[in-house]
Structure 1
Amino acid sequence: MKLLKYYFYCLVFTMMSCEKTDNKLQVQIFETSAKGNQLTKITEFPATDTKVTIKLIPEQTFQTISGFGGAFTESSAYLLNKLSKKNRDTILRAYFAKDGARYSLTRTHMNSCDFSLTNYSYSPVEGDKNLEHFTIEEDMDDLIPMIKEALAISEDGFKIFASPWTAAPWMKDNNKWVGGKLLPEYYDTWALFFSKYLDAYKAEGIDIWGFTVENEPHGNGNNWESMHFTPQEMTNFVQHHLGPKLEADGKGDKIILGYDQNRAGLKEWVNAMYKDEASSKYFHGTAIHWYESTYDYFPEALQYAHNKAPDKYLIETEGCVDSEVPKWQDDTWYWSKEATDWGWDWASEEEKYLHPKYAPVNRYARDIIGCLNNWVDGWVDWNMVLDRQGGPNWFENWCVAPVIVDPDADEVYFTPIYYVMAHFSKYIRPDAKIIGVDNSNEKLMVTAATNPDGSIAVVIFNETEHPKSVNLSMHEKTVEFSIDVKAIQTIMIPKI
């Protein structure tokens, strides 16, 4: 009898243990924080006074992810060439290797941009309408080797889209690198330019995924390379010239993204691009930047753009800490509201409120999560590597990159921005689907995605001065942990 009781109690204990185990959500948690964690796996969680409940709803799905990454620029490539092979490899592996950030969506420039060493064009001969002298020679020393090395390191591969800042001056009405418009007589030449670029890069072993039609078609205050389009002019160029040319050359599968500037102007642009079936035929999606505000990610504009073209891409193609010289080996600065952007000095008085001081980490984390929760499917940072001055930049338009280098001393500084980017790029993979989330605390930003392998990535950002306890649940399973002050976490849930 005692033996039977013993077996009975053992059975009950085993069932209770199984029940507890079955109800527990198995997770791995990685954190980057102002206190010093850098994508660190954490297993100990102090108790807090604030309780937050987050419920995942994987049955509720939204956009499919294109990827996350940064831009290959001549400036970044030039700097890498000045470093030791060890440090060059360290940086490229940190961005593209399986144990690094695993960047999956990248950008580069066609012709020169402000983050080039000089002004140059692939069509250097004036009046060469058939582009018989087209050449990418300017990219051969720095830019192309950087892209090739990244491709060799990446096990999963990554997409590359290219953006022109301007056509050569001889194709424009002002005959200058800065400002002006493409002359109508060169619309076909400019469409041919895109096709020849694809061929030239393909010959170097680099397959270009697609294009944005023009970087910042509103211009940039006539400071560095630019070329202006109205929404109607860009739509006309794509509808009647670029799209048909790529199609005729057997390149109709290449992605064409329209607009490529700040989100506040989205409505006017998508209204023109997606006016009807004919105007939208060759546009695969819309490209956006974040420079309109240091804190507002413009959810209404993003929602409008998605609803106007729900089956098209909506990709953030550029964002950075601009108008700042990088702080060297000073992680605290990146977590502090001390940075200012272009608008701090130059925005009109009625728009100054959009440009207060901000913490660079906050700006990245808030914007990426805000974008993912409002239909954006890809998010691309600007330069991957800059120097301690925030260049080189021929216009002295200094900016910050996730990785800062001192080529003279052969030193590398991975800023906190690098780790914030990796919280998304490493764990939310291409073709993942954003899923529904119920979050009880509006001061925590949360997004979640189901990956193609069935795993789920949840990203939580706490920019407050108070730690918070989190009860995370899905399908009747729960797990409890806490997130520290000024911290971002990625919670990985294996396929169930």
Structure 2
Amino acid sequence: MTTWICTTPDKPWQDHSGSLANAADSDSNLQLTDTRDQTILGFGGCFNELGWEALSWLDPDQRDQIIRDLFDPEDGCRFSFCRVPIGASDYAVSWYSHNETEGDLDMNAFNIDRDHQYLIPYIKAAIAQQPDLRLFASPWSPPTWMKQPKAYNYGTLVWNEQNLKAYALYLLKFVQAYQQLGLDVRQVHVQNEPNSDQKFPSCLWKPEQFAEFIGDYLGPLFERENNPCEIWAGTIERPGYDTWPNRILSDAKAQRYVAGLGFQWAGKGAVQTTHLAWPDVPIIQTENECGDGQNTWDYARYVFSLIHHYMINGTCAYTYWNMVLPAGGRSTWGWLQNSMITVDPETRAVTYQPEFYVMKHLTRFIDNGATRRGLAGPLAGNALAFENPGGSTTLLIANPSDNPRTLAVDINGQSLSATLPAQSFNTIVA
């Protein structure tokens, strides 16, 4: 059985399976090659406080439907690998950490009470639909008393042994607290965008500091505690291979503990070289670029190009940023951002934006454990192929042209032809 789902600007998620035709193999303009690359770890988004606040405006049936559409493993986007902030992200309702008791190096006052208000209900609602949900976590800022200056935004971690030991313990306690609730935190990433001094929660690091913290403090602590959560060198937002990833991985102590690398934003410029240089080190994309709150079709096309870039360069996961936001996507600090789904704060109207369908095209028919297949031919620049563990092959292909375009491809012994509508995203499974 073959499936073809198509999305155009005015007709999202249409079943065109009946329009697939047979094609002569010699006519193919897209070929699957024998090349096999990364194995897919999963796809998902980030749990942010403003998303749950928007969902809380809705009646339970509406809210449950949105959660199903994002997480249901049968009919939804099937999200199964998602990000959670450690303390406030830039899309928190207000800024906080899990321990603001100054000088508490033993973390006796550590707690996740705040997360029970927004993030944990959001995650538990997702788990009700997707029991196999796995999480990766990252801080935007350490507790303020551990920084110079003592503020959530800007600044650096105070670099001395007692502070570094305490901060490693802080991260461990977060992972343990979530694990005790049955929330499966598989990875901890050291710092969100460590080379960006932001007006929202942030903290500046140098790559040598990343390596020292992982190799001398965080890694040994998780090892002593026998905690299964992996330590990842993320989330890197700079393009230079030698600037961040190579410096971290070339440190022998750090390399022992680094299970993988996370990249976002301009970090996309380092993905290809990093994968070539360290092919056995897994790479994930950790944050989808967020747009300007307009949620246009053109930006959805850009998101598809991001997915294509990360996937052809070896990433094994792709993570959307804000899954749900109020219409306009305004943060508490004034930035406007896109989201997959918006909720109007006055009318409570729910809108599924173009990027919802881009992500669903990626996630709906690509299973965890799928292997990316190589492609060749004139249409390969806008296409991705994955071989699922069960044997089916999923082809994801865009037609960004203003005119229809004919696709002819051989998949699993079937020579298929389809006329891809203008300005369309398409998923074909055979």
| Shift, 1:455, TM fit | 1.1
Q: After TM superposition, give the deviation of residue 459 of structure 1 in Å.
A: 0.4
Larger mean CA deviation between 34-43 and 454-463 belongs to 34-43
| Alpha-carbon distance in 1 for matches of 2:142, 2:175 | 16
List aligned pairs for 1:109-258, cutoff 5 A. Answer: 109-155=85-131, 157-185=132-160, 186-220=163-197, 222-251=198-227, 253-258=228-233
Distance 1:426 1:447 in 2: 14
Query: Is the counterpart of residue 89 in structure 1 residue 64 in structure 2?
Result: yes
What do residues 469-496 of structure 1 show as CA deviations (whole Å, max 9, x unaligned)?
Answer: 1111146541111111111111101xxx
What's the TM-score, normalizing by structure 2?
Answer: 0.94
Q: Which residue of 2 aligns with 1:342?
A: none
Does 2:429 align with 1:492? Answer: yes
Kept in 1: contact 2:195–2:238 (CA 8 A): no
Decide which of 246, 259, 263 is 1:271's aligned counterpart: 246
Q: Which residue of 1 aligns with 2:304?
A: 365
Question: SS in structure 1 opposite 2:375?
Answer: strand
* Structure 2 counterpart of 1:428: 366
Distance across 2 between alignment mates of 1:291 and 1:304:
14
Alignment of structure 1 residues 10-25 onto 2, 5 Å: none
Q: 1:466 aligns with which of 403, 409, 429?
A: 403
Structure-1 residue corresponding to 2:335: 397
2:326 equivalent among 365, 387, 403? 387
CA distance in 2: counterparts of 1:403 and 1:42, whole angstroms:
26
4+ aligned runs moved over 3 Å, structure 1:
39-42, 474-477
- Structure 1 distance, partners of 2:367, 2:109, is 40
Report the counterpart of residue 38 of structure 1 in structure 2: 13
Once the two structures are superposed, what CA deviation does each residue of 1:34-91 show, in whole Å capped at 9, x if it has no partner?
2423253442369xxxx8611113x421011111110001111122122110111011
CA RMSD of aligned residues (A): 1.9
Q: Is the 1:231–1:259 Cα contact (8 Å) retained in structure 2?
A: no
Per-residue deviation, 1:376: 1.1
Q: How far apart, CA to CA, are the structure 1 residues paired with 2:9 and 2:415?
A: 27
Distance 1:379 1:152 in 2: 22
Does structure 2 conserve the Cα–Cα contact (< 8 Å) formed by 1:267 and 1:305? no
Task: Decide whether aligned partners of structure 1 residues 411 and 240 sit closer, same or farther in structure 2, where only a CA change above 3 A counts.
Answer: same
Q: TM-score, normalised by structure 1?
A: 0.82
- Is contact 2:97-2:142 (8 Å) kept? yes
Determine which structure has more spread, i.e. the larger CA radius of gyration.
1
Matched residues in 1 for 2:202 and 2:241: separation?
Answer: 19
Q: What is the CA–CA distance in structure 1 between the aligned matches of 2:284 and 2:151, rounded to whole Å?
A: 30
1:472 counterpart letter in structure 2: V
Q: 2:286 aligns with which of 317, 323, 327?
A: 317
Structure 1 residue matching 2:357: 3-state secondary structure: helix
**Structure 2: distance between partners of 1:171 and 1:484:** 55
Aligned 8 A contact 2:293 2:339 in 1: no
What runs of 5+ residues in structure 1 fail to find an aligned partner?
1-25, 328-333, 336-358
Ranges in structure 2 where 5+ consecutive residues have no aligned partner: 22-26
Q: 1:475 to 1:196 in 2, by over 3 A?
A: closer
SS of 1:260's equivalent? strand
Between the two proteins, what is the percent identity of the paired residues?
27
Give the drift of 1:426. 1.3
3-state SS in 2 of match to 1:370: helix
Q: Which residue of 1 aligns with 2:394?
A: 457
Q: Distance in 1 between matches of 2:2 and 2:20?
A: 13
Equivalent-residue separation in structure 2 for 1:263 and 1:102 (angstroms): 30
- Give the partner amino acid of 1:206: L
Assess if the C-alpha contact under 8 Å between 2:2 and 2:17 holds in 1: no
- Counterpart of 2:277, as a letter, is K
* TM-aligned CA distance change 1:218 to 1:43, over 3 Å: same
Q: Which amino acid aligns with 2:310?
A: C
Q: Following superposition of structure 1 onto structure 2, how do residues 91-110 of structure 1 map, counting pairs within 5 Å?
A: 91-97=66-72, 98-110=74-86
Within the candidate set 289, 302, 307, 2:271 is matched to 302
SS in 2 for 1:144: helix
Tell me, in whole angstroms, the C-alpha distance in 1 between the residues paired with 2:428 and 2:394: 6
Q: Which residue of 1 aligns with 2:24?
A: none
Partner of 1:411: 349
Report the residue type matching 2:294 in the other structure.
P
How many residue pairs end up in the alignment? 423
Deviation of the 1:422 alpha carbon: 0.7
Cα offsets for 1:97-149 (capped at 9, x unmatched) = 12110012100101112101111110121110001000111111221011011
Counting only pairs closer than 5 Å after superposition, residues 53-68 of structure 1 correspond to structure 2 as 53-57=29-33, 59-68=34-43
**1:68-83 alignment, distance < 5 Å:** 68-83=43-58
Q: Secondary structure at the match of 2:156?
A: coil
